[in-house]
A and B are shown apart, each in its own frame.
Chain A
Amino acid sequence: MVIPKPSMDNTEATLPANYIHTVIEPPKGWAALELGELWKFRELLFFLTWRDIKVRYKQTALGAAWAILQPVLTMVVFSIIFGGLARLPSEGIPYPIFTFTALLPWQLFAFALTQSSNSLVGSQNLISKVYFPRLVVPFSSVLAGVVDFGIAFLVLVGLMAYYGIGLTPAALLLPVFLLLALTSALAIGLWLSALNVKYRDIRYVVPFLTQFWMYATPIAYSSSLIPEKWRWLYSLNPMTGVVEGFRWAILGKSSLDVLSMSISAGMVVTLLIGGLYYFKRMESSFADIL
């Protein structure tokens, strides 16, 4: 910061020393991520998340019941078709609880992904009228999914009590897998939300994507059905790691496949960093295109 020289002429403008200095310039290719900026706007992040949660429950007739109905009904259908009719193996765990532990993180992921993909387009009026780091928008819509997850988790606790399954110390690692699920959703959400601004096709792609993705994730079936030599490829799906992790942490399944976990986690980090940079690059044009 330049210290202003004392000036004789009173009207001569001097450079101020004790104000925040902001520079506005044309965007230059790959910009810095400026994650510190995101931290500065953490309160806005909080308020937008809070708004999303509040509005969702206000506008629906059943409100929070949806958070329970969706995974429970899916569990019932899966239990009848895959557990009952197809008799898929479930690693010696009652099929309903086997699939429900996977549905929990999956629904969180799918919901967060869908919401964040549409978040920028949905916040058009904000983006064209106010400045804030645009990352706040997909970020907050991912976070808003956590409440639903929390509610559905209570159902899981009930199920476990019903089937007489106790928690193991591994459950302490649940937050880690929860974070991994959220990060996956955010990573993909960043790509899709930024693309959605430019190509509104994304709106139609997302429902298909989540549907296909669900079958590529060990939700209705066990990953032990996948041949050993293809495991690494299968683990490139970050949700494989998340779902495996959940089953391990909650049901205490024999052991955690560390290699496949690492592949999933590595994939998430790669997607996230790529997504952040892509998002940042596109950020400056959002207000002009929307």
Chain B
Amino acid sequence: MSEIAIRVEHLGKQYRLGAQQAGYKTFRESLVNTANAPLRWLKGERKAEKNTFWALDDVSFEVKHGEAIGIIGRNGAGKSTLLKILSRITSPTRGRVDIYGRVGSLLEVGTGFHPELSGRENIYLNGAILGMSRVEIMRKFDEIVDFSGIEKFLDTPVKHYSSGMYVRLAFAVAAHLEPEILVVDEVLAVGDAAFQKRCLGKMGDVAKQGRTVLFVSHNMGAVKKLCSRGILLENGFISSQGIIEDVINKYLESTYQSNNFRKSEICFPENPELNIQILRIALMDNNGNLSNVYGIWDSILLELYVVVRKKLHGSNLAIQVSRDGDILFNSFDIDESPEYFEARDQGYYHYCIPFPKNIFPKGTYSIDVSSGISGIGQIEIHTDVLLFEIEVNQEDFNHKSYSRTSRIIVPMVWDIRKVSSYIFDKR
């Protein structure tokens, strides 16, 4: 089977700058604009090209039926725009796409969920919105309920659901969509780890059944697991495509080469619109010297300055450390200090986060820092904001496991004694 599922040719999408803030106009502005148009024309300002940018520019690729393709790239590289065009939500400015097969797209889980309706009603509504027929939903209804694990609350309005239940139900519906081509945006960025794993499993099944999958994610581990081929987008261009491992390596390389590498501190300009904002992120050793190269035995401190502009409930800060695209761990400030979850007063905060010593084997690590409000969503996310490297000294090496390829080092003290005899044989 090597038939074409998607063919994209010279695709381009132009946006007007600032279109997000000034999305809609008022009649008055429009009238003023129209009135001024001849004047501008006289001045020789035809169509203002300067206020536009190309979110996608001359993108061409092909996907065959049964292939799972990962689309990766930094924020603003054009991944979401590409998915929106492929899902026919927005139309391209240039180029052409040919799609052979029924497309199901999941740019979000729970699109169209209505808080006043019960779980049962929302399954039908959401299913229809995602493009399932009524008969199809009825046939899969029990399976969906089973997968979500919310049988007991099926007739409760979803506004009374916990955010976890809500996401589980929403994903359950989405997971039972059976299109020939599945287009998925980072919907897995939600839910608890166990559920994420189940979703990944379910998506893996989809890919194995020979259906075509287009998957966009920041989670390199998930992309690696699911996809065989990859496309790397950079500033609207395809900068690399091919076998997924190679593309991920290119992505990581370009990340490491970017400005943040070799930087061990980064400051952000104050933005009064954010209720909570991360102002400074720095990596330092025990003595307060900024650095991003450490030995296995060194203490590493992550320092954050955060401003809270409005008294908040349910807010949290989180860090995540990953290597080669695989998440090693994450940690929330409210894990050990739940009082900050209840309420966080206005003001500036200083965080000092000591990383556990002697757990990182040789390699390059990247740190994400984010802030959010529980149950509402993220406020800020800085992905791969700082990187640090662990070097292995010669003396660390001596027959020890530290440089081996395990994900983390766990120093374990083995109790070893020489004994006089082996007794278990005599029983």
Interface residues of A (CB under 8 A from B): 4, 10-16, 19-27, 43-44, 46-48, 50-51, 54-55, 58-59, 125-132, 197-201, 284, 287-290
Contact = CB atoms under 8 A, between A and B. Distances in A.
Contacts of B96: 23-25
B25 A198 contact: yes
B133 interface: yes
Contacts of B102: 19-20
A31 B290 CA distance: 60
Size class of the B contact interface (CB-based, 8 Å):
35 or more
A16 B100 contact: yes
Give the residue among A12, A125, A127 with the most B Cβ atoms within 10 A: A125
A22 B89 contact: no
A200 B89 contact: no
B150 interface: no
Contacts of A19: 3, 5, 100-102, 180
Contact of A4 (B3, B93, B117): B3
Given A126-B129, A132-B129, A290-B23, 20 more contacts: A16-B3, A19-B100, A21-B99, A22-B97, A23-B96, A24-B99, A25-B96, A26-B91, A26-B94, A46-B128, A51-B121, A58-B116, A125-B111, A125-B112, A126-B111, A130-B111, A130-B129, A199-B26, A288-B15, A289-B23
B117 A51 contact: yes
B98 interface: yes
B114 A51 contact: yes
Given A47-B129, A55-B117, A129 B24 contact: no
Nearest to B180: A19
A130 B92 contact: no
A132 to B, nearest CB: 7
A15 B93 CA distance: 25
Contact of B99 (A11, A22, A126, A289): A22
A246 B340 CA distance: 64
Contacts of A197: 24
B87 A131 contact: yes
14 contacts: A13-B2, A13-B64, A14-B2, A15-B4, A16-B3, A20-B100, A20-B102, A22-B97, A48-B125, A55-B116, A58-B116, A126-B112, A284-B90, A290-B23
Give the residue among B91, B93, B98, B133 with the most A Cβ atoms within 10 A: B91
Contacts of A46: 128
B103 interface: yes
A283 to B, nearest CB: 9
- Label chain A's interface by main secondary structure: mixed
Contacts of B95: 25-26
Nearest to B124: A47
Nearest to A199: B27
Interface string B66-89: 000000000000000000111111
B116 A59 contact: yes
Given A16-B4, A21-B99, A127-B89, A198 B121 contact: no
B65 interface: yes
A119 to B, nearest CB: 13
B130 interface: yes
A287 B19 CA distance: 12
B310 interface: no
A127 B108 CA distance: 12
B155 interface: no
B137 to A, nearest CB: 9
A187 to B, nearest CB: 21
A54 B27 contact: no
Nearest to A58: B116
Contact of A199 (B2, B24, B92): B24
A130 B112 contact: yes
A4 B64 CA distance: 14
B85 A24 contact: yes
A54 B117 contact: yes
B98 A287 contact: no
A185 B250 CA distance: 56
Contacts of B117: 51, 54-55, 58
Contacts of B125: 47-48, 50-51
A200 B24 contact: yes
B27 A130 contact: no
A23 to B, nearest CB: 6
A22 B98 contact: yes
A198 B22 CA distance: 10
Nearest to B181: A19
Given A13-B2, A289-B23, A289-B24, A199 B30 contact: yes
Contacts of A44: 128-129
B3 A199 contact: no
B27 A201 contact: yes
A288 B11 CA distance: 17
5 closest A-B pairs (Cβ-Cβ)?
A: A16-B3, A24-B97, A19-B100, A131-B88, A47-B128
A129 B89 contact: yes
A131 B97 contact: no
A45 B3 CA distance: 34
B198 interface: no
B103 A287 contact: no
Given A15-B4, A16-B4, A59-B116, A131 B23 contact: no
